Structure 1
Amino acid sequence: MNALDKAAWRSRLRAQRRELELPDAGAGLARVAQEWLETLDTHDAKLADTGSSARGSVCAYLAMGSEPATGPLLSALTSTGYSVFVPVCEPDFQMTWTRWSPGVSMQRSALAPVMEPVGPRFPYDQLVSVRAILLPALAVDGSGVRLGQGGGYYDRFLAGLPRKGGIVTVPLAAVVHNHEYFPSPSLPHDSLDAPVAYALTPSEHHTLGPA
């Protein structure tokens, strides 16, 4: 694999998102994500002490542009008792996490073209009982390869997550439109790419693994 392979895929997938008239995915994605969370085995959830709700925490993100809408999903999670955290861009392509809730004050990031909640920022290892991490993606395939936007923030974040036997201990799910999930191993990747265990689309969730 070389960088051109990823660049070509990203270019094609971004063009599809611009050209396709995609239906509003928010309600479907919220339903699928909640169903998926109920199926997770949480024995390996990482525990800390920052005052999370009883159901634990979910790390998610605020969708932009043509990404599957996450607003209804975040609202649904908070209404059912989860603490929802979304990323804040920090210098050197690092991320911290801040609490999201409906109506929270927002401000534009100084480092990236995104909006971020105003509030205390926590490193990941200070979050309480993280049940899952939802990741933005341009595509994901059945072997667990996630193709992101290539900005570098998530690559660095994923590389630093706790592992057991080389596997990230918290469930990782890539969020994509229905047509951006490829059941067969299809996407370019390299040894530095962290595989994900699940894909969430507005229609259903998929368990992923090596071919």
Structure 2
Amino acid sequence: MGAGAMTICHNQAAVLVKEDMKKMVQIPMLRSRAVAAKNTKIFGVSLLELRERGLVEDGVPLVVQRMVEHLSKHALHQEGLFRVNGSVRAVETLKLRLESGDDEDLFSESDLCTVSSLLKRYLRDLPEGLVNLTVQQKLIQHYQDSGDAVSWWVIKDLLHQLPDVHHSLLRYLCNFLTLVERNHKENRMTAHNLATVFGPSVFKLT
């Protein structure tokens, strides 16, 4: 093998070594990015931020859709739905697994009380509440001024003052709770009971 051939082989080997070294350096960076992507905070994050991060579909957070779809399929006939709470530890564990990006069928591994409690917690943890303070105060004022003559058209107009993503989630939630109420003879969750349970989760009372 001539000197020229040796030089070419040496240069090629050097290039391969450099490429291998580059890959070795990049591996930890890629792993750290993957871990960061999986450990994504979902609870206690504004709806607008979740939408910017691509975690909202049709105006509804994906995590809420997953919980509601599971409960709609398995829990509509469960007596005490939303009134019987899951254990604090189980709820926290499920929350952390969702935020870690665990793709397993987490809800099938959890009891229904845990999933329903987590849904309430999600709503309660929204930074400004699902219905923000400004709209909340206007709703209260309307009730105080109207007495028994509450106008549902006025209420509808006030709710439309919410940010669009809040309004979409509220509408989605109300549709689901209407479905729950239709089965109240079995689950014992009348409209009054649902309002009592979800009021603190939907409104910021501070």
Same fold (TM over 0.5): no
TM-score by length of 1: 0.27
User: Whose helix proportion is higher, 1 or 2?
Assistant: 2
User: Whose strand proportion is higher, 1 or 2?
Assistant: 1
Higher RCO structure, 1 or 2 (CA under 8 Å, sep 6+): 2
TM-score by length of 2: 0.27
Larger Rg: 2
